[in-house]
Amino acid sequence: MAEIEREAMEYDVVIVGAGPAGLSAAIRLKQLDADLNVVVLEKGSEVGAHILSGAVLDPCGLDALIPDWKEKGAPLNVPVKGDKFYMLGEAGQVRIPNFPMPPLMHNHGNYIVSMGNVCRWMAEQAEELGVEIFPGMACSEMVYGENGEVKGVVAGVFGLEPDGSYGPNTEPGMELHGKYVFLSEGVRGSLSKEVIAKYDLSAGKEPQKYGVGMKEIWEIDPAKHKEGSVTHTMGWPLGSNAGGGSFIYHLENNQVYVGFVVHLNYKNPHLYPYMEFQRFKHHPMVADLLKGGKRVAYGARAITEGGYQSMPKLVAPGVALLGCSAGMVNVPRIKGNHNAMLSGKAAAEAAYDAIKAERSGDELTVYETEVRNGAIGSDLKKVRNVKPMWSKWGLTASLMLGGLDMWTNTLGFSLFGTLGHGKNDAESTEDASKHQPIDYPKPDGTLSFDRLTNVSFAATNHEESQPCHLRLADPEIPVKVNLPKYDEPAQRYCPAGVYEVVEDESGPRFVINFQNCVHCKTCDIKDPSQNITWTTPQGGDGPNYPNM
């Protein structure tokens, strides 16, 4: 094929992804120097369209970035008023008192927010400062310079033929070059994955760990609504099958975020995370709350869980990984937005200093040092053993030992050192023959819903004539390996029903309904053969979340 010719545009800093990390970086750069040329590229149809968080926001990131956010009208309208933890059994629950919890677990001073709306507001702040933001522009390729440094990205490729070739309607996109490129794609970013592999940034680190988070917005009976209430649960229905838990956050307007996270290191390939979530809503405590209400939105997204010891090296020549592209979630707090913001700010400050010193295309080592030794490192370090303890010793032991470890870490030491994670999540999957299939109750259509009906509440959309963005390294593996060995778990781990095994006269066939994809990235993480690569579809495609 002839070399593709693309126009190139030059910037000081090119930012991939308009989440809290990318937008914070853009804002900070322009705060430091209004003359810097900064561009943010976002694959969602608008800023916020692909943002899915709980979310209880710790405002420390915003405080550092925009100290007068209140006066400027940031949509942080619901302070947390109550904070409850429950251990669930099938028919009841036990409340875990707040007093034994280390202070870092308390939600006092935090806000229940729509992170989609927070990002929309941050984008307005950035644009007022002169940042160029282009939604509907997916970054599909990295551009490397002559010396192996990152030089930019390719964005805005549209209208490829189904086989990936160029056709009459193809727009080749453009190259956006920067003195520095920030990858702020969130969890399991497709370009970040390439960059981590190319520069071997995970060398010497623990494997990254993940969960899949699913979330619905419910409008409930006003009599049951308690604005500002935060509830977390653990235990049923997951039991010993998998780690994870739920969150129930009461925001404004009688709305409630109901979410469920399943850790992706589960062994039993019969496990069906989406159905665990649906089953959870039938717990008497949850069912009582939701009865009479209606589900108005659904979405799903993976969440990074590896924490401090899994963060890759954050910089390579010309590029920096921000926020959850590097995995900055504090797992027991289920919070990463504050660290995403702080990382954006720190990367911007490092790039500003470098550009002022007429540098470009080198490693922003000051950023790396700030993340590891500053507020982010200190937040993540204190909780670094919680996830490995949960994986190794199960829920009850890890609750006690993890609590003890968080307390001692708050005082400055740990009895456990730094525990490792061992395997990655794909490797944790065991043969189907070692496990019993799980019999999930059929959704009742009132509290629980079948997957495809729920996906319609994510308003996801993909232009059908484009190539499938879910690439199989070997198309034979799903039926020849994954089906006999693991009962092809893609049928179950995908929270959007993208993958099916269809039986016809010629035998089983693996079908990919990429139109349903909600960009959660679970397949890229959990496929036991590591045969699926999530690549970005053309810009503007994917979910259209309202106020997730």
Ligand X SMILES: Cc1cc2nc3c(=O)[nH]c(=O)nc-3n(C[C@H](O)[C@H](O)[C@H](O)COP(=O)(O)OP(=O)(O)OC[C@H]3O[C@@H](n4cnc5c(N)ncnc54)[C@H](O)[C@@H]3O)c2cc1C
For residue 43, state whether it binds ligand X (rule: CB under 6 A). yes
* 489 contacts ligand X (rule: CB under 6 A): no
Instruction: Measure CA 270 to chain center.
Output: 24
Specify whether the CB–CB gap between 191 and 183 falls below 8 A: yes
Secondary structure letter of residue 516 according to DSSP: G
Give whichever of 19 and 317 is closer to ligand X, judged by the CB atom.
Answer: 19
135 binds ligand X (CB under 6 A): no
By beta-carbon proximity to ligand X, the closer residue of 279 and 485 is 279
Helix residue ranges, H only, 313-374 = 337-356, 365-373
Q: Select from 25, 88, 329, 380 the one that contacts ligand X (CB under 6 A).
A: 329
Among 19, 102, 235, 528, binds ligand X (CB under 6 A): 19
Q: Which is nearer to ligand X, 482 or 538 (CB)?
A: 538
Q: Least distance (Å) from ligand X to the CB of residue 189?
A: 5
What DSSP letter does each residue of 312-328 carry, written as one string?
A: PP-EETTEEE-GGGS--
Considering only 283-291, 319-327, 388-396, 456-464, which stretch makes contact with ligand X by CB under 6 A?
A: 319-327
Under a CB-based contact definition with an 8 Å cutoff, are residues 38 and 50 in contact? no
CA distance 25 to 341: 8
Can residue 301 be called a binding residue for ligand X (CB under 6 A)?
Answer: yes
What is the SS3 assignment for 161-195?
Answer: CCCCCCCCCCECCEEEEEEEEEECCCCCCHHHHHH
- Contact window for ligand X (CB under 6 A) among 186-194, 217-225, 358-366, 508-516: 186-194
Nearer to ligand X, 237 or 323 (CB): 323
Binding residue for ligand X, selected from 13, 39, 51, 258, defined by CB under 6 A: 51
Please state the closest distance from residue 413 (CB atom) to ligand X, in A. Answer: 27
Tell the smallest beta-carbon distance from residue 247 to ligand X (Å): 7
The reply to whether 262 sits near ligand X by the rule CB under 6 A is no
Distance CA 506, CA 262 (A): 35
What is the distance, to the nearest Å, from the Cα of residue 178 to the centroid of all Cα atoms in its chain?
Answer: 25
| Binding range to ligand X, per CB under 6 A, among 198-206, 321-329, 440-448, 483-491 | 321-329
Tell me which of 12, 141, 175, 185 binds ligand X, using CB under 6 A: 185
- Do 135 and 42 form a contact (C-beta atoms < 8 A)? yes
Could you say whether residue 139 binds ligand X (CB under 6 A)?
A: yes
State yes or no: residue 336 binds ligand X (CB under 6 A).
yes
Site for ligand X (CB under 6 A): which residue of 152, 173, 235, 259?
259
Whole-number Cα distances in Å, 502 to 479, 483, 488: 10, 11, 11
369-377: long-range contacts, CB 8 A cutoff, minimum separation 24: 370/346, 371/311, 371/314, 371/326, 371/328, 371/343, 371/346, 372/311, 374/342, 374/346, 375/60, 375/342, 376/328, 376/339, 376/342, 376/343, 376/346, 377/308
189 contributes a contact to ligand X by CB under 6 A: yes
The pattern of x and - marking residues 198 through 227 that bind ligand X according to CB under 6 A reads: ---------------x-x------------
What residue ranges bind ligand X (CB under 6 A)? 16-22, 41-44, 50-57, 138-139, 184-186, 189-191, 213, 215, 259, 261, 301, 303, 323-325, 329, 334-338, 340, 536
